[in-house]
């Protein structure tokens, strides 16, 4: 290991860990301790630059940890931008792993709290985030005007909520996630919002609406739309973080770097040309709009503005825009129906309506397999929306002190229709049915899972509440039909 790649940090417990250090002297003390490796009453922390270090303690008195990544060119001198990444399962290291490449390229410190979890109350998650942020600000040379958050899907919603509640945060990257709470937006506490979304993700129409809200409140915002298979690529993260810096240059909070501006502009123009070469005119128009917004005060954009006008006048673009608008309109009505009927069915335990839901999933699959591009995209968004809607309802039911088991089993049954390849829900139905000695229902859902490809025999025998079911002749006959032999 190279010495220059190993950063040795000593946290003086009496000051840093317990929070008594006066903030204006925090960096000075940190540097002295790091260089002198003070041995008395100190906690030595070895951090290798360019590697994710996990399970770092926030404080001795609190059992909360975080993961940290220092870019390869990190030094104690200067100030470094910070990106707080969230994973709502408390897997900080996993959350950071997708951001290390861009952190090295742009010189970002990346950290992720391990204690932030979707099973924890929102207020507590915010407090845990604030404690990690305070720890980093008092122990590392962080640029206090360049503090950002990021997350994917549920973690993205939390990431864009954090700057609404923690004023120090300057911006948020929300990946496949709409704004968590529009009512908390405050023009006096603005931040830079950057959404990254796939056109086939169900949050795409919602993010387009969020853009209008943010514009009306004069929030800095950008929306990067793409057709990639993965929720995000490092190129999109690179572009988003670059927009944060360019925005600071535009506001004169940072000196202009002409070379960086030109490189960023050319990267955007190259992406636009790529969309046009693929005849993806809607994506090209969207990319043009964002590029014009970012660079309008940084360089001349007349040629790009004229290119955008020409594109919008083209017949192909107008036709695609009309088709997308029609798909959005139809999609909105279907979403309203799904939300309304699901609420009614859960409240009334309307198992008879499972047939209607089965028909609707069939219609969605027809959209997905259709010949019209915009309807195919709409179908995929509806598929994601319905599954997210059912999952949200499951979380609401299971979060209550007294779980409504009948509502829960209805939702599990519905999930086997909306997400038929997720075998866990078949097993959950079988578990609850067996608990209530409804062995007929249990056997039906187990066989449905087996028909669709479930092959984990050990998991089958480990289903909770199925002890009596497993000794029945019907269960053993089922096992023998799909496996070599039964156990009983």
Domain closes at, from 315, 339, 367: 315
Segment holding 148, helix H or strand E: strand 142-152
Q: Do 408 and 428 reside in the same domain of the chain?
A: no
Spatial CA neighbour of 109 closest among 68, 65, 165: 68
Residue 45 CB neighbours (<10 A): 16
pLDDT tens by residue, the chain, 488 residues: 554 555 555 443 333 344 433 333 333 334 333 433 333 333 445 678 999 999 999 998 889 999 999 999 999 988 999 999 999 999 999 999 999 999 999 999 999 999 999 989 999 999 999 999 999 999 999 999 999 999 999 999 999 999 999 999 999 999 999 999 999 999 889 999 999 999 999 999 999 999 999 999 999 999 999 999 999 999 999 999 999 999 999 987 788 999 999 999 999 999 999 999 999 999 999 999 999 999 999 999 999 999 999 999 999 999 999 999 999 999 999 999 999 999 999 999 999 999 999 999 999 999 999 999 999 999 999 999 999 999 999 999 999 999 999 999 999 999 999 999 999 999 999 999 999 999 999 999 999 999 999 999 999 999 999 999 999 999 999 999 998 766 65
Q: Do 159 and 69 reside in the same domain of the chain?
A: yes
Say how many domains are in the chain. 3
178 in Cβ contact with 211 (< 8 Å):
no
Domain closes at, from 399, 420, 441: 420
The domain containing residue 436 runs over which residues? 423-488
- Strands, E assignment, 23-132: 42-48, 52-59, 62-69, 80-85, 109-113
Q: Structure tokens of 276?
A: 């046009």
Q: Structure tokens of 42?
A: 């100190």
Q: Do 198 and 149 reside in the same domain of the chain?
A: yes
Q: Do 292 and 339 reside in the same domain of the chain?
A: no
Q: Do 273 and 126 reside in the same domain of the chain?
A: yes
C-alpha pair distances (Å), 164 with each of 126, 155, 188, 194: 11, 15, 11, 14
Cα dihedral 192, 198, 202, 208, rounded to 10, equals 40
Q: Do 328 and 428 reside in the same domain of the chain?
A: no
Q: Structure tokens of 352?
A: 């008879």
Q: Do 367 and 261 reside in the same domain of the chain?
A: no
Looking at residue 166, which CATH number applies to its domain?
3.40.50.1820
Map residue 7 onto helix, strand or coil.
strand
Contacts for 349 with CB less than 8 Å, ≥ 6 apart: 406, 407, 410
pTM over 0.85: yes
Domain closes at, from 263, 289, 315: 315
Q: Do 123 and 149 reside in the same domain of the chain?
A: yes
Please give the distance of CA 418 from its chain centroid, rounded to a whole number.
22
Q: Do 433 and 410 reside in the same domain of the chain?
A: no
Distance (Å, rounded) from C-alpha 271 to C-alpha 294?
Answer: 15
Angle, helix 315-348 to helix 354-368, in steps of 10 degrees? 160
| Residues written for the chain | 488
Q: Do 8 and 30 reside in the same domain of the chain?
A: yes
Q: Do 415 and 430 reside in the same domain of the chain?
A: no
Please give the distance of CA 264 from its chain centroid, rounded to a whole number.
25
Q: Do 245 and 218 reside in the same domain of the chain?
A: yes
383 in Cβ contact with 420 (< 8 Å):
no
Burial 468-481 (b: 16+ CB within 10 A, else e): ebbebeebeebbee
């Amino acid at each position: 290991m190279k010495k220059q790649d190993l950063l040795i940090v000593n946290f003086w417990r009496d000051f840093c860990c317990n929070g008594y250090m006066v903030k204006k002297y925090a960096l000075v003390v940190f540097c002295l301790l790091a260089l002198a490796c003070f041995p008395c009453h100190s906690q030595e922390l070895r951090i290798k630059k360019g590697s994710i270090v996990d399970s770092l303690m926030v404080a001795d008195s609190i059992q909360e940890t975080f993961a940290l990544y220092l870019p390869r060119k990190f030094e104690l001198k200067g100030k470094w931008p910070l990106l707080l990444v969230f994973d709502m399962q408390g897997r900080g290291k996993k959350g950071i792993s997708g951001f290390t490449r861009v952190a090295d390229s742009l010189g970002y410190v990346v950290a992720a709290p391990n204690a932030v979890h979707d099973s924890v109350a929102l207020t507590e998650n915010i407090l845990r985030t604030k404690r990690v942020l305070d720890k980093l600000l008092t122990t590392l040379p962080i640029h206090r005007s360049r503090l950002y958050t990021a997350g994917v899907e549920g973690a993205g919603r939390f990431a864009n909520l954090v700057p609404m509640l923690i004023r120090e945060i300057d911006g948020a990257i929300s990946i496949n996630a709409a704004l968590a709470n529009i009512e908390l937006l405050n023009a006096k506490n603005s931040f830079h919002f950057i959404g990254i979304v796939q056109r086939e993700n169900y949050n795409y129409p919602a993010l387009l609406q969020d853009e209008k809200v943010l514009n009306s409140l004069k929030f800095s915002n950008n929306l990067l739309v793409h057709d990639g298979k993965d929720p995000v690529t490092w190129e999109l993260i690179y572009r988003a973080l670059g927009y944060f810096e360019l925005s600071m240059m535009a506001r004169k909070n940072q000196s202009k770097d002409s070379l960086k501006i030109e490189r960023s502009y050319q990267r955007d123009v190259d992406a636009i040309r790529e969309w046009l070469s693929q005849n993806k005119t809607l994506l090209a128009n969207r990319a043009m709009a964002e590029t014009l917004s970012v660079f309008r005060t940084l360089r001349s954009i007349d040629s790009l503005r004229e290119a955008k006008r020409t594109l919008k006048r083209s017949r192909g673009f107008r036709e695609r825009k009309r088709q997308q608008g029609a798909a959005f309109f139809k999609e909105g009505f279907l979403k309203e129906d799904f939300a309304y009927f699901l609420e009614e069915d859960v409240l009334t335990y309307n198992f008879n309506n499972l047939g209607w839901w089965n028909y609707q999933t069939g219609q969605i699959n027809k959209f997905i397999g259709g010949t019209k591009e915009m309807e195919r995209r709409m179908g995929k968004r509806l598929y994601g929306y319905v599954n997210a809607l059912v999952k949200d309802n499951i979380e609401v039911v299971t979060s209550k002190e007294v779980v409504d088991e009948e509502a829960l089993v209805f939702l599990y049954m519905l999930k086997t229709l909306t997400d038929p390849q997720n075998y866990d829900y078949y097993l959950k139905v079988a578990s609850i049915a067996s608990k209530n000695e409804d062995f007929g229902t249990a056997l039906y859902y187990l066989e449905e899972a087996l028909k669709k490809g479930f092959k984990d025999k050990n998991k089958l025998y480990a289903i909770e509440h199925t002890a009596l079911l497993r000794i029945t002749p019907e269960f053993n006959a089922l096992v023998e039909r799909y496996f070599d032999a039964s156990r009983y």
